[in-house]
Structure 1
Amino acid sequence: MTADHNISVTDLIGNGAELLSVGGVPSPAVDAELLVAHVLELSRGELRARAVTGATVPPVLHTQIRALFARRAAREPLQHITGIAPFRSLELRVGPGVFVPRPETETVVQFAIDALNASATPEPIGVDLGTGSGAIALSMATEVIRSRIYAVELSPEAMPYTAQNFHRYGLTNATLVNADLGEALAELDGTVDVVISNPPYIPAAAIPRDLEVQLHDPALALYGGEDGLDVVRRVSTTARRLLHQGGTLVLEHGEEQASAIAALLTADGWNAVAHHRDLLGRDRATTALL
């Protein structure tokens, strides 16, 4: 890629996609577009319109864009580079130290939103245990305005991003709590309608298949002990304490953990344990009633 003259938006994206493809990035063309759009401060639609009209990019921006392409080709998460992760209707600030929310979690949180909407309580209460960026909690709070949402996060590395996201949306019905999920919110015992968690569930000896996860997501948000279910056990215990009778538990988990989680929850006394598949047909979530 030359840097001493203007280059067309189309060529810039093409060069970037080629570099990212060599690096093994799963969606090289999309990521190249998003990185160029980020530097040019355009939406992806606006960038494509520029490409169609033959617009060019001045040399002063080439170096900056090339540097971002190189970072992404080295498998640094796209969201770390741009500092933003889209999630449902939200744009969340993320970076090193906080788990980057995934598209599949957008479908998991729907179970919690549905349960809140179905509650006969005038002001249903939802709790997100291990909120990370705040994606789940803020989605519940923005989409079920009559609810009161509490988000629990322990990590000192994640909390600056979480706090920034809560401040950005300024929701009066969402409260962020810096605490251990096993001990948090004792004042709510027996009153909560929905508890949801996307806990760390990767077994300690397992290696995540995506390099972005291996190299950049925080271990605290990934690994759940020898069988991957240590934190799930703690979530089950906390949820039983927090929920009122008939309240709903929503858990995200790995695609091969559904039967183990069903056995765990059944042994803990949960009712109506049900598994739910994601858009790719993989077991992704389990719901249960107290």
Structure 2
Amino acid sequence: MVNYTYRDIIQSLSEKLTEAGISNAYWEARELAGAALGFNCRGKFDAKTQADTEQIKLCANLLARRLMGEPLQYIIGEWDFCGESFKVGSGESFKVGSGVLIPRADTETLIERACSLLGGEKELTVIDLCSGSGCIGITLEKKLDCKEVWCVEKSEAAMYFLKENAARLNSACKPLLGDVTDESLPEKLPLADLMICNPPYISAADMKKLQKEVTFEPVEALFGGEDGCDYYREIVRLWKSRLKPEGIMMFEIGAGQEDEVMQIMIQAGMHDVRARRDMAGINRCVYGRNSVQKNEAVNLYDQLDKAERNLH
């Protein structure tokens, strides 16, 4: 019987992945081996440790799934979000699996911008729409001074992972199963200081050109209508009224969508509408503030004055 060490297995996995044309093959091999053999592939481990028969079979099974195009994140069952800056407990990753969108580095642009804009504010109310795994809402809860964070998701499969992540990361976020395009849903939530969303935004044309790995992810989390902007239109139309005066609405966008999404927000009466680039120099985030008309502002201040008088 041939004995295989952890080093042997990683090398074999790397060779197979390289032959299949998978980039970062050695790095992926370490991730697969770590998941199968039960060691932290990103830390120190004894490469001379011998694997048993069951471990070798599991490695072969995980490799076969990867060679079929299944995303590495689904295979190992979890993924980091916001890198080392996201530290909760011992630094757990977000659980992911079939039925939920995989957290991506692109989305970290939204976290960075939201924290920059609201880092000095207290007791924020945050609503995370199309929440998926909950990576945006849960991360913001840890990074900002939040009174409450609502995570809205329509998929029951994704909601399973959202609740799982909230529990394992000790989050007090409030998961809500619901469709963000449901006309009756917005009024069920409180007014928000920040409404943040990574909606489906892939156009019909681009859906035909997806990488094989992306086709494993749920279509309802990807397809945004003919031009990819259906959800932006509906969310701005339905949810703008749930923003506090000067509250921020923030979206992740696809490459080249900034002009259309900014125009949607401006036409809805939002102001200070801007775009933000990601690390690759692509406009990845669009955000704006809720405008307050003069008469609305007067009514608001009258209500505050009246409430204050009633306290005395």
Q: What is the TM-score of this pair, normalised by structure 2?
A: 0.83
1:92 corresponds, among 79, 91, 94, to 94
Q: Is the 8 A contact 2:125 2:147 kept in 1?
A: yes
Q: What is the rounded CA distance, in whole Å, between the counterparts of 1:192 and 1:45 in structure 2? A: 38
Aligned positions of 1:180-199 closer than 5 A: 180-182=179-181, 183-188=184-189, 191-199=191-199
Aligned positions of 1:250-269 closer than 5 A: 250-269=250-269
Q: What is the rounded CA distance, in whole Å, between the counterparts of 1:55 and 1:165 in structure 2? A: 32
1:248/1:118 CA distance change after superposition, 3 Å: farther
Q: What is the rounded CA distance, in whole Å, between the counterparts of 2:132 and 2:71 in structure 1? A: 16
Aligned positions of 1:109-188 closer than 5 A: 109-119=111-121, 122-172=122-172, 174-182=173-181, 183-188=184-189
Q: CA deviation at 1:235?
A: 1.8
**Partner residue of 2:300?**
none
Q: What is the rounded CA distance, in whole Å, between the counterparts of 1:68 and 1:179 in structure 2? A: 34
Q: Is the 8 A contact 1:24 1:73 kept in 2?
A: no
Q: Is the 8 A contact 2:109 2:284 kept in 1?
A: no
Number of matched pairs: 279
**Partner residue of 1:23?**
20
Deviations 1:143-184 (A, max 9, x none): 224431111001122121112222223323x11111121343
Structure 1's consecutive aligned runs of 4 or more residues displaced over 4 angstroms after TM superposition are none
Deviations 1:102-155 (A, max 9, x none): 121122222223333233xx4111110000011101101122244311110011
Q: What is the rounded CA distance, in whole Å, between the counterparts of 1:238 and 1:116 in structure 2? A: 23
Q: Is the 8 A contact 1:6 1:59 kept in 2?
A: no
SS at match of 2:201: coil
Q: CA deviation at 1:57?
A: 2.6
Q: What is the rounded CA distance, in whole Å, between the counterparts of 1:96 and 1:18 in structure 2? A: 27
Larger radius of gyration: 2
**Partner residue of 2:46?**
50
Q: Is the 8 A contact 1:195 1:250 kept in 2?
A: yes
Q: Is the 8 A contact 2:126 2:146 kept in 1?
A: no
Q: What is the rounded CA distance, in whole Å, between the counterparts of 1:245 and 1:45 in structure 2? A: 45
Q: Is the 8 A contact 1:20 1:73 kept in 2?
A: yes
Deviations 1:202-251 (A, max 9, x none): 0123235421112x110100001100000111221233111112111111
Q: What is the rounded CA distance, in whole Å, between the counterparts of 2:238 and 2:15 in structure 1? A: 48
SS at match of 1:259: helix
Unaligned runs of 5+ in 1: none
**Partner residue of 1:212?**
213
Q: What is the rounded CA distance, in whole Å, between the counterparts of 2:169 and 2:145 in structure 1? A: 13
SS at match of 2:93: strand
SS at match of 1:7: coil
SS at match of 1:50: coil
Which amino acid in the other structure matches residue 175 of structure 2?
Answer: L
Q: What is the rounded CA distance, in whole Å, between the counterparts of 1:40 and 1:242 in structure 2? A: 48
Unaligned runs of 5+ in 2: 87-91, 291-312
Q: Is the 8 A contact 1:80 1:96 kept in 2?
A: yes
Q: Is the 8 A contact 1:5 1:58 kept in 2?
A: no
